[in-house]
Structure 1
Amino acid sequence: MFSLRNYTISISMLVALMLQIMPMPIIADPFRPDWVFLVLAYWTLALPQRVNVGVAFINGLLLDLLLGTTLGIHGFALSLAIFILAANYQRLRNYSVWQQAFMVGLLTSLYHLVIFWLQHLLTDIYFLFTYLWPVLTTMLFWPWCFLVLRKVRRQLKVN
């Protein structure tokens, strides 16, 4: 029998993947938050036994397929950032939401710099400051994402 509780994490990841590729106006596109990273970060902090580096790598591969980037770039970058988050989840859980937002911003900047570094090794791109705009918007969206996903987790009793 279908139980929404069993598929909550998968559905939230699917929604994050759809938000990541959703068309936006050209002026707003450079500011697109990293929805996949936000949702992965929340579930890693909330349920580290269910969402970990393997889930991050699979979602990174799906993101590579959806964005048309070289296969494995987002998988590696997400895995690295989520590994650091999972290794420190007990400490990060005790921080306030705004302190967590700052830490998510640091991990998102690591994620973007790893992606840039790997793409620079494979192609001929150069660093532009606009690559880091999503770090700011991801930090700003963390409290909202945290509160929404926590409410969903508590109402559906996901554990």
Structure 2
Amino acid sequence: MTDAVTASTRDELVSLLTIERLAPYLRESDGNIDLALDLYSWNAAIAAASMEVVAYIEVVLRNAVDRELSRYAHEEQRKLPWFLVPSITGDSHDAISKSIEATRTRLRGLSAHRDSRDQIIAGLSFGFWTELFGSKHEDLWRAALSNALPGTPA
């Protein structure tokens, strides 16, 4: 990074990032500002690369949970997606219902054609999917979700 950065550009960059933000990098580089900026740049690149892994994990987790909840709700026979089945989204799982409805509302606002099952599943946040593994959904874990993560105890 610092090879292409002039002294005045470097000083401006340090000013914009702030010395406080660069403090850990300056400590690690024994106060060498160029090395600190290189470390900062390296850290940003590693953080960006890790987001790619997180994106894959999110899709794989989401698809595994969706598959198992689909089986649990007998979607094939009912012809109704699991997220519309009251036994899954009823009172004991109110947060599920609210997240589903908020996602459907948001998707409908974007386009009349975006309220499909696949769009709803894809539109739910990573937080929604990970929340399903919390203790308040233990019944779903025992009945279906443990199957989404092979090798985990039911």
* Structure 2 length-normalised TM: 0.27
Greater length-normalized contact order (CA 8 Å, ≥ 6 residues apart) = 1
Determine which structure has more spread, i.e. the larger CA radius of gyration: 2
* Structure 1 length-normalised TM: 0.27
